[in-house]
């Protein structure tokens, strides 16, 4: 009884409207105002404008040192504390206080010229050096116009670049166009291959890169070219980012880390500038590693979408392509990149000379899972009863990140009940939590509902137990979990299986429909509880017919497309790829197949009706049954665990 817990399909990213940077209307009036103020300031700079009468007073006291007589003004220097020679002896107190009114020291004065025929005589009398001047056009023009206009242009460029930088309010203005990656240079990542487990092939491939970074001369001497770009490809959480850090850590070289979305900037030209800048910096620090995480953010196929943002992305991508061509092999810069969407990458990125080497980082197998668990169990005290091998066997399909998460959950659980070490029980509980979501103790079911859920779950378990090729039942529970599961039956294979036979798939289908079959058998009416079962069964049946060629009627035609090779599993969204007529036939075949296994499931449950009754009674008593208990109840030995790819928790 479980709603779909698979991820909804990711909607295509809508391109945000592109805010064009226009010439703002306020800029012009503001600049005119500033210019006007400037003109005033310049002409008054260090110049005191005084009334003509005051000038005459200074002149009379002999304080005017020099004067330039222009057509409409007089400028020059005045020294106020220069005591006029003729009154040297008779400095009175009134004189002193009058002098104090004017500032002491020298200043440049300016005064408007008044019609004063005796001026020249007086100037001569006071022994002032004076000249007649025509207004200097050039210097005034330079100071008054060219300089402020120059400043304005500089300011303009500055402002527009800052805005184009698109950075948030905290971003430094001075890092315009500079690569953000610089901030993330790691001299030593501190991660080694020892911290990455379960991807031996990938490590082996990357060992060569490490070796090159350490001894480039050996490769140069023999004329071998190391790949410029290595692309790590794999599902989320398998340790791609971790591996890249480990390569840098092993080689002890600087590590430039940035994500594809760092590149995708809103303004044209800056993204490309970032790429250019990044490579510039990297070459300066060679040997080093540039790591672009989530490459698909910039590396998408060009020309698919139209719009300003994509325009920018394409420019950025182009720049990346150019840069990758631009640096020689063996300069010591190696570009690592990671993605889980290799299918959307631009073909040009993948051609030889660019990301010519692809390293697959897949979900770990049972050995790998055990190794990952061991890595993450470091520093966590484990109880004596803990068998990591068993946990690894019980977690097929888990990625490295899932396993790390499960171990952490176990540690949290242990800490919650004040345990000194992590027990097997904590780990089991943690794994279950990761698979099926946390327990929902607050979700209260009425006795009626509980009974129905119990019959439903036991129905799944019994049909599975009485089908030859089914995965062994690991646990039955009617404790609600996650966001929608009211109860669940967990079937766990021992190992990963890369091939499934038709009978195994048929048995799985039958098990999926067992819950509904039990409900129909026991109760007069069915409920909504089987929704998720039906959804999964239908998807599986359709897959068997469309992609595995397991239907006689449709034959070997492959009539569905898998959009992304790394997001397969329960949430694979297949796309139809066939004619209307075939589609109709497929629908009929799916229905026929499901009808058939449903009848078989009901037959099994009818034949083992007694078991259905008393296992349900036991389940209602204890709320959950583990595998061995279940098999003991029905008088079977717990079957040899077999191999299978996905942990199947049927609700």
Residue 651 contacts which entry, ligand ADP, Mg ion, Zn ion, none (Cβ below 5-8 A, type-dependent): Zn ion
Pairwise CA distance, residues 158 & 148, whole Å: 15
Nearer Cβ to Mg ion, position 345 or 366? 345
Mark the segment that binds ligand ADP (CB under 6 A) among 279-287, 351-359, 396-404, 534-542.
396-404
With binding defined as CB under 6 A, does residue 477 bind ligand ADP? no
Contact partner at residue 264 from Mg ion, Zn ion, ligand ADP, none, CB < 5 to 8 Å by partner kind: none
Q: Where are the beta strands (DSSP E) in 153-296?
A: 185-186, 229-233, 255-259, 288-293
Q: Please, what is the minimum distance in Å from the beta carbon of residue 401 to Mg ion?
A: 9
Among 63, 189, 238, 241, binds Mg ion (CB under 5 A): 241
Give the integer Cα–Cα distance in Å for 457 and 619.
9
- Which of helix, strand or coil describes residue 65? strand
The binder of 533, among Mg ion, ligand ADP, Zn ion, none, by C-beta within 5 to 8 A per type, is Zn ion
Which string of x and - marks every residue 355-374 that binds ligand ADP (by CB under 6 A)?
A: -----------------x--
Under the criterion CB under 6 A, does residue 194 sit at the interface with ligand ADP?
no
The span from the CA of 426 to the CA of 381, in Å, is 12
Q: Interhelix angle for 502-522 vs 580-607, to 10°?
A: 60
Give the C-alpha separation, 134 to 137, whole Å: 9
Q: Cβ closer to Zn ion: 72 or 525?
A: 525
197 forms part of the interface with ligand ADP (CB under 6 A): yes
Backbone angles phi, psi at 296, to 5 degrees: -60, -20
> Least CB distance from residue 515 to Zn ion, whole Å?
3
Residue 401 in contact with ligand ADP, rule: CB under 6 A: yes
Restricting to residues 417-476, which ones interact with Mg ion according to CB under 5 A? none
Q: Does 605 bind ligand ADP (CB under 6 A)?
A: no
CB 642 within 8 A of CB 493: yes
Which of residues 235 and 482 has its CB atom nearest to ligand ADP in the complex? Answer: 235
Parallel, antiparallel, or unpaired for β 488-491 and 473-477? antiparallel
CA angle 591/596/598 to nearest 5° reads 95
Contact 206, 229 (CB under 8 A): no
- Report the nearest approach of Mg ion to the CB of residue 256 (Å): 15
Q: CB of 434 within 8 A of CB of 406? A: yes
Which lies closer to ligand ADP via its Cβ, residue 242 or residue 272? 242
- Does residue 179 belong to the site contacting Zn ion (CB under 5 A)? no
Rounded Cα distance, 544 and 565, in Å: 17
With contacts defined by CB under 5 A, name the span among 54-62, 97-105, 430-438, 508-516 that binds Zn ion.
Answer: 508-516
Least separation in angstroms between residue 260's CB and Mg ion is 11
Q: Return the number of the residue (365 or 424) whose C-beta is nearest ligand ADP.
A: 365
Contact 410, 422 (CB under 8 A): yes
Q: Annotated catalytic residue: which of 312, 323, 429, 457?
A: 457
State which residue has the least CB distance to ligand ADP: 400
Report the residue number, 111 or 651, with the smaller CB distance to Zn ion. Answer: 651
Long-range contacts of 422-430 (CB under 8 A, 24+ apart): 422/380, 422/381, 422/382, 422/383, 422/386, 423/383, 423/385, 423/386, 424/383, 424/385, 424/386, 424/387, 427/386, 427/391, 428/391, 428/394, 430/406
Q: Is 459 in the site for Zn ion (CB under 5 A)?
A: no
The count of residues interacting with Zn ion (CB under 5 A) is 3
CB of 594 to ligand ADP, least distance (A): 36
Binding mask 468-507 for Zn ion (x = CB under 5 A): ----------------------------------------
Cα–Cα distance, 386 to 382 (Å, whole number): 6
Q: Which residue of 515, 517, 540, 542 would you call a contact of Zn ion, by CB under 5 A?
A: 515
- Residue 485, classed as helix, strand or coil, is strand
The pair of three-digit structure tokens given for residue 526, joined into one six-digit string: 């069915």
The half-sphere exposure of 296 on its side-chain side, counting CA atoms within 13 A, is 13
- Does 375 bind ligand ADP (CB under 6 A)? Our answer is yes
Q: Which of 495, 462, 502 is nearest to 614 (CA)?
A: 462
Q: Is residue 519 within the footprint of Zn ion (CB under 5 A)?
A: no
- Minimum CB distance to Mg ion, residue 242 (Å): 8
When asked if residue 431 is in the footprint of ligand ADP (CB under 6 A), the reply is no
Q: How far is the CB of 400 from Mg ion (least distance, A)?
A: 11
- In 3D space, the residue among 51, 10, 149 whose CA is nearest the CA of residue 566 turns out to be 10
Q: In the annotation, is 589 catalytic?
A: no
Contacts of ligand ADP in 221-250 (CB under 6 A): 236-242
Structure token digits, residue 601 = 């499931």
Pair 3, 570: CB distance under 8 Å = no
The reply on whether position 491 binds ligand ADP by CB under 6 A is no
- Residues 6+ positions from 445 with CB-CB distance below 8 Å: 453, 478, 480, 486
Q: Does 485 bind ligand ADP (CB under 6 A)?
A: no
- Residues with a catalytic annotation lie at 457
Contact positions toward Mg ion, by CB under 5 A?
241
Contact positions toward Zn ion, by CB under 5 A?
515, 533, 651
Contact positions toward ligand ADP, by CB under 6 A?
196-199, 236-242, 338, 372, 375, 400-401, 404
């Amino acid at each position: 009884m479980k709603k779909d817990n698979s991820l909804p399909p990711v909607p295509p990213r809508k391109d945000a409207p592109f805010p064009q940077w226009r010439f703002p209307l306020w800029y012009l009036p503001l600049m005119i105002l500033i210019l006007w103020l400037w003109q005033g300031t310049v002409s008054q700079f260090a110049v005191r404008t005084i009334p003509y009468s005051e000038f005459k007073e200074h002149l009379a006291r002999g304080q005017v040192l020099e004067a330039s007589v222009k057509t409409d003004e007089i400028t020059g220097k005045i020294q106020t504390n220069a005591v006029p020679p003729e009154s040297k002896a008779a400095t009175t107190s009134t004189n002193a206080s009058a002098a104090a009114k004017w500032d002491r020291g020298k200043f440049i004065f300016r005064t408007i010229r008044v019609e004063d025929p005796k001026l020249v005589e007086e100037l001569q009398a006071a022994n002032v050096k004076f000249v007649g001047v025509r207004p200097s056009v050039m210097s005034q023009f330079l100071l008054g116009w060219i300089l402020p206009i120059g400043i304005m242009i500089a300011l303009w460029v500055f402002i527009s670049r800052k805005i184009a930088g698109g950075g948030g309010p905290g971003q430094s203005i001075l890092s315009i166009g500079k690569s953000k990656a610089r901030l993330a240079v790691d001299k030593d990542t501190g991660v080694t291959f020892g911290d990455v487990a379960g991807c031996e092939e990938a490590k082996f491939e990357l060992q060569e890169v490490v070796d090159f970074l350490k001894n480039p001369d050996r490769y140069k001497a023999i004329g071998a070219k190391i790949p410029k770009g290595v692309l790590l490809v794999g599902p989320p959480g398998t340790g791609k980012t971790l591996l890249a850090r480990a390569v840098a850590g092993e080689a002890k070289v600087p590590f430039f880390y940035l994500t594809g979305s760092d590149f995708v900037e809103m303004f044209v030209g800056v993204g490309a500038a970032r790429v250019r800048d990044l490579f510039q910096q990297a070459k300066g620090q060679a040997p080093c590693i540039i790591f672009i995480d989530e490459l698909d953010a910039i590396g998408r196929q060009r020309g698919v979408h139209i719009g300003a943002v994509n325009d920018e992305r394409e420019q950025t991508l182009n720049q990346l392509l150019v840069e990758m061509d631009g640096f020689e092999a063996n300069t010591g810069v190696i570009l690592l990149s990671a993605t889980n969407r290799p299918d959307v990458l631009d073909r040009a990125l993948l051609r030889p000379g660019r990301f010519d080497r692809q390293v697959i980082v897949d979900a770990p197998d049972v050995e790998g899972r055990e190794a990952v668990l061991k890595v993450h169990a470091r520093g966590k005290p484990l109880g004596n009863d803990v068998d990591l091998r068993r946990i690894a066997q019980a977690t097929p399909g888990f990625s490295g990140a899932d396993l790390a998460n499960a171990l952490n959950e176990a540690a949290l659980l242990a800490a919650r009940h004040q345990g000194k070490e992590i027990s097997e029980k904590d780990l089991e509980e943690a794994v279950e939590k990761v698979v099926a979501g946390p327990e929902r103790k607050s979700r209260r079911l009425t006795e009626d509902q509980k009974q129905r859920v119990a019959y439903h779950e036991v129905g799944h378990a019994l049909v599975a137990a009485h089908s030859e090729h089914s995965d062994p039942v690991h646990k039955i529970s009617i404790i609600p979990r996650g966001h929608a599961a009211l109860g669940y039956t967990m079937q766990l294979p021992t190992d990963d299986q890369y091939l499934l036979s038709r009978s195994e798939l048929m048995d799985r289908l039958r098990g999926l429909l067992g819950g509904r079959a039990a409900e129909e058998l026991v109760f007069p009416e069915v409920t909504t509880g089987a929704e998720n079962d039906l959804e999964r069964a239908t998807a599986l049946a359709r897959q068997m017919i469309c992609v595995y060629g397991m239907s006689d009627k449709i034959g070997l035609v492959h009539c569905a497309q898998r959009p992304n090779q790394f997001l397969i599993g329960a949430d694979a969204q297949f796309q139809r790829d066939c004619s209307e007529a075939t589609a109709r036939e497929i629908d009929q075949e799916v229905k026929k197949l499901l009808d058939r296994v449903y009848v078989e499931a009901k037959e099994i449950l009818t034949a083992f009706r007694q078991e259905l009754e008393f296992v349900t009674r036991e389940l209602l008593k204890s709320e959950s049954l583990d595998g061995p208990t279940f098999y003991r109840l029905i008088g079977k030995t717990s079957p040899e665990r077999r191999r299978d790819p996905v942990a199947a928790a049927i609700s």
